Structure formats: C-alpha cells, structure tokens
Amino acid sequence: MLDQLLADERRHRRLVHQVVERHLQILFGGLPGGNRVAAEDKISVMALPGAPGDVISFNEVLALVDASGTHIGTPLVAGASVAAEIIGHKRSAKSISFKKRRRQNSKRKRGHRQDMTQLRITEFLTGGAKASAKAAAPVESAHDHAGIAASAAAGLAAAKAAGLDTTKFQKLDKAVGQADDLELIGGIGPTIAKKLNALGIHHFWQVVAMNQADIDGIEDEVGFKGRAARDHWREQAGELMAGKGPRAKVDQKRAAEHGEDH
C-alpha cells in the first residue's frame, strides 16, 4: 500500500514538472511564436509595426520566474508584461518551394523571404506596471544627413525653377540638376535603382509624390510587386529630404561615401 502511494506521488510530481517545463518553454505567449526569454535577450519575430528604438509591450505572459518564485498563469499571469525594444527590421533567409508533377512536364519554383523584426528584451513588469519609454540610442554613423538633404533640396528647387509641379508624380527624361541616390532608400538596390532611372525616376521628390496608382503602374513595369509599400519608399524618401538620413538597414559605408560627396 505504501509503495503504491509513493509511486503515485512520484508520478504526480513528474506530471507537475512536465507542465511547468512546458509553460516555461512557451514562457511569453504574447511574443509571436511563443518564446522563453530573459532580460537583454535578442530575438527575431514576425514583422511588427514600429521604428528602431521604439519600446513595445507584450501582455500575454503564460509564466514568469522572478525572485519570489515561479508564477504559472491561468492561462495568463495577471498584471504581467514583457517590454522589448525594436532593434531593427530585416528579412529572413530565403526558403524555396519546388513542385513537380511527374510525366506532365510541370515544374514550379518559388522563393520567399519573411519580413522579421529584431527585438531586445528590456524589462519584465508585474502588477500592471507600464513599460518605461526609452529613447533610442544614437546610431553611430559617418554619413552627412544634412548633405543628403541639401542635395535633395537643390534638386527640388531646380525642378520648381524648370516649371515642374513637384507635388505630382511625373517621369523625367533625365535628372534635373544632380540626381539623388535612390539606393539610400532601404529596399532599393543597384538593380532596382537602374530600372527606376530607366523609367525616368531620379529624385526623392518624385518618390514622395507617388500615389498608389503610380506605384502600381511602376511595379507592373519593373516587376517588384509590393516592395514599395513593404519597405515604405515614400516615407523613407521624405525622411532623407528632411535630413533624418538613411534608415539603419541601409549600407552605412555607402551612405558615408555619399555624405563625403557633399
């Protein structure tokens, strides 16, 4: 009888241990995909809105371990949340989907890169406390934000002097004055920049002036469907004209070289 009771107790403890471990493996269900994290951990999750330096909170905490012990939610830990700082945005490694139908001469190959957001876990909060707003750390860069903006302003002024309505998108036979470096816009590389130039797009003000119909037409011609909206080309072009400089994912060396030219 005693042996049976001891065996039952051991079995019960194993089950409790398994449940606790399971909760800890998916410690913070509010983070996409479920993650077990600690302070200062850096993780990548499915794309989230926000700019680098923004602090966001996840309120769906399944379990929390602190100095007072382990707290298991039912299903969530009341008043607990996790604060994280956005480090930046990137795209995952390419995954390939290949389908072939036997004896039908049918093959299809598609690639996909998922938009991701990089996070740094900053603090754990209890009792309904709010995350402390945290200013983004200054990014060290050698490029000249003012020089990029001055060049864009000069191109804008030249276009106005030539009688162009810069509030409306229009293609140009050639750049008016000095062309802007479209590759400073995140998501535009050398290949796409050449295609845009060939279509008559040379300046940031042209990108800012695009409406959705303009973007749709250009994407049909060039073949990069959805990239302008996904990478926020218009917003980035406006930031460059306002002197904010390239976003973090842009090649800093190239941006530095651009700044040295002004």
Flag the least confident range among 12-21, 95-104, 223-232, 243-252. 12-21
Residue 114: closest CA among 86, 92, 97: 92
Q: What is the pLDDT of residues 109-143, one digit of tens each?
A: 888 888 889 999 998 888 888 877 654 444 444 45
Q: Say which residue, 181 or 255, is predicted with more confidence.
A: 181
Q: What DSSP state is assigned to residue 56?
A: E
Show the tokens assigned to 108: 């299809």
Question: What amino acid is encoded at 9 in this protein?
Answer: E
Residue with tokens 């995140």: 186
**Using an 8 Å Cβ cutoff, are 152 and 241 in contact?**
yes
Q: How far apart are CA 205 and CA 180, in angstroms?
A: 9
**CB-based burial, 194-203: b 16+ in 10 Å, e otherwise:** ebbeeeebbb
Q: Beta-strand (E) ranges in the chain? A: 42-46, 55-58, 63-66, 69-72, 81-91, 95-101, 106-112, 115-125
Asked if residue 6 has pLDDT above 90, the reply is no
Which tokens is 155 given?
Answer: 């191109």
State the Cα–Cα distance between residues 129 and 77, nearest whole angstrom: 13
Summarize the confidence of residues 179-197 as an average pLDDT: 89
For 47-86, letters b (16+ CB in 10 Å) and e give ebeeebbebbebebbbbbeeeeeebbbeebbeebbbbbbb
Helix (H, G, I), strand (E, B) or coil at 84: strand
CA 132 to chain centre: 22
Residue 143 · residue 259 · CB < 8 Å? yes
Whether pLDDT at 210 is above 80: yes
Q: What would the two tokens of residue 178 be?
A: 């000095």
39 has a pLDDT exceeding 60: yes
Q: Do residues 192 and 228 lie in contact, with contact meaning Cβ atoms separated by under 8 Å? A: no
Residue that has been written with the tokens 């602190």 in this structure: 66
Nearest-5° angle of CA 204, CA 47, CA 35? 155
First to last CA, the chain: 89
CA separation for the pair 12, 87 (Å, rounded): 43
Mean pLDDT of the chain: 80
The answer to whether residue 72 scores a pLDDT higher than 80 is: yes
Sign of CA dihedral 115, 120, 122, 126: positive
Residue 209 pLDDT: 93
Cβ atoms 81, 125 nearer than 8 A: yes
